[in-house]
A and B are shown apart, each in its own frame.
Chain A
């Protein structure tokens, strides 16, 4: 793959710019005390492996509705799991009483509004929807 054909190169660039325009931002309330949070910690919060932010305060993850494009991108890029893997992961935890999946509480606008008013919540939205009511802890 060293010598690209011009058309293939153009295609790759187009794809790359499409991906770049659909950036996802992981957000907490503007009043949340944490700065940036790394991918591994966010993944642990959303998979129920930890219940706290790095500063020790309680973390309540909230999901976008099933089927939203941002959720698909969050699942595959950040959690590194397909939706079928996640379903099976949670059914295994639910029926041992070890955990319940994050609540699904809407799409960009609803998630932003909930997170902005609650310093314990952490969610993710399309980065174009970010405003000053929330703080971005990771962008990908």
Chain B
């Protein structure tokens, strides 16, 4: 078919039904491939070591979506991650019902709007970094099973999306069940500016088995074992306090969560983003976690140079609870400086170079070391 007949075919279809285009089956994909090397094996950073790692940044995603009728769309996104031995997971698998032009209801598996980049977390092409910094982007899962509401409204020049979600995450083998997962994310844009605020909370239940449950059971036992150290005089009142802390360390039935704030600016030439999170938990098993990142970028035609500072800190509670946390090595303070270059090599491919200096000021209660991570990656969307 030559160009004219393709166009007249389009015109004919378009004339028959304005909806035809919206009814297409959309297939899109993304692929990221990265090679990284860390220069110090005593530092733990995103699973890298001092041999070239070709796997951890490699991610393949395939997405299909189809408008089933006027109001209903189905979307599925299958993601296969090198860091997970290419096991394939549905990151999105939902049916969307457009109740009105401003209100969408989704049911199924959804990506949780934890952070600024969460919706497109693994689409490397959509941001400048090879991967969002793990100091802030530290949650080891990104999707839950549940439902959400997206409501859009405008105030002056600000367009806002409010997303309210509810769901549950119960991975097999981890011995943990995250229930009554609830959260709200507000994102507003006006011209080149974006502001975002979010709140997330859940209830945790563990059966004491699996990778996560066993860790919690060991920590509870560890608290009781600290009595000789923290209470050498065998004071009955202090013993009772330690017993209570051991009870509090058991996670089942406890509530935890965090809130986040972010602000972004991008005028196509200069960009900046700042993101901050503050965790909270009923249980001293989780120390108070504060994280943030600040990134600036500057575009030179097809090149973007960017610089990021990011940090995470787990602070101890005060008093005896803090002494227990300290003895169990729950104190952490780490930061990274990331300098990178992104080269837009064509309309759907980006080549990235990154150097990250990661400093473990305090790691598991002890002084750590620092390391450099070198990465070359390529990101495609298709």
Contacts and interface: CB of A to CB of B under 8 A. Distances in A.
A38 to B, nearest CB: 13
Contacts of A85: 266, 268
A28 to B, nearest CB: 12
Interface stretch (A9-17, A94-102, A125-133): A94-102
B7 A94 contact: no
A47 B119 CA distance: 18
A58 B268 contact: no
A84 B300 CA distance: 12
Contact of B119 (A92, A100, A121): A92
Contacts of B381: 91, 94-95
Given A87-B347, A92-B126, A51 B101 contact: yes
B180 interface: no
A118 B30 contact: no
Contacts of B119: 92, 95-96, 98
A118 B125 CA distance: 35
A69 to B, nearest CB: 17
Interface string B14-47: 1100110110001010100000000000000000
Interface string A70-95: 00000000001110110110011011
Interface in B266-280: 266, 268-269
Contacts of A96: 92, 111, 119-120
Contacts, number: 81
Interface in B160-204: 191
Contact of A95 (B15, B77, B268, B269): B77
- Pick from A84, A100, A105, A121 the residue with the most CB of B within 10 Å: A84
Contacts of A94: 26, 28, 63, 381
Interface residues of B, number: 40
A77 B88 CA distance: 43
A66 B347 contact: yes
Interface string A40-73: 0000000001111000001010000010000000
A12 B7 CA distance: 40
A114 B14 contact: yes
Contact of A117 (B15, B94, B191): B15
Interface string B52-77: 00000000010101000000010101
A138 to B, nearest CB: 18
A40 B351 CA distance: 34
Contact of B11 (A66, A81, A98, A114): A114
B298 interface: no
B207 interface: no
Contact of B126 (A60, A81, A88): A88
B10 A120 contact: no
Interface in B204-249: none
Nearest to A97: B75
A95 B18 contact: no
Nearest to A110: B7
B159 interface: yes
Interface string A109-124: 0100110011011000
Interface in B321-352: 344, 347-348
Nearest to B26: A100
Contacts of B94: 97
Nearest to B124: A91
Contact of A113 (B11, B111, B299): B11
A97 B92 contact: yes
B63 A95 contact: yes
Interface of B: 7, 10-11, 14-15, 18-19, 21-22, 26, 28, 30, 61, 63, 65, 73, 75, 77, 92, 94, 96, 101, 111, 119-120, 123, 125-127, 152, 159, 191, 266, 268-269, 299, 344, 347-348, 381
29 contacts: A50-B101, A58-B19, A82-B269, A84-B268, A87-B347, A88-B125, A88-B126, A91-B120, A91-B123, A91-B125, A91-B381, A94-B26, A94-B28, A95-B28, A95-B30, A95-B63, A95-B77, A95-B123, A96-B92, A97-B63, A97-B65, A97-B77, A103-B21, A106-B7, A117-B11, A117-B14, A118-B15, A120-B18, A121-B18
Given A66-B347, A117-B14, A120-B18, 19 more contacts: A49-B159, A51-B101, A60-B22, A82-B268, A85-B268, A87-B348, A88-B126, A88-B127, A91-B120, A91-B126, A92-B123, A94-B26, A94-B381, A95-B119, A95-B381, A96-B120, A97-B63, A97-B96, A105-B10
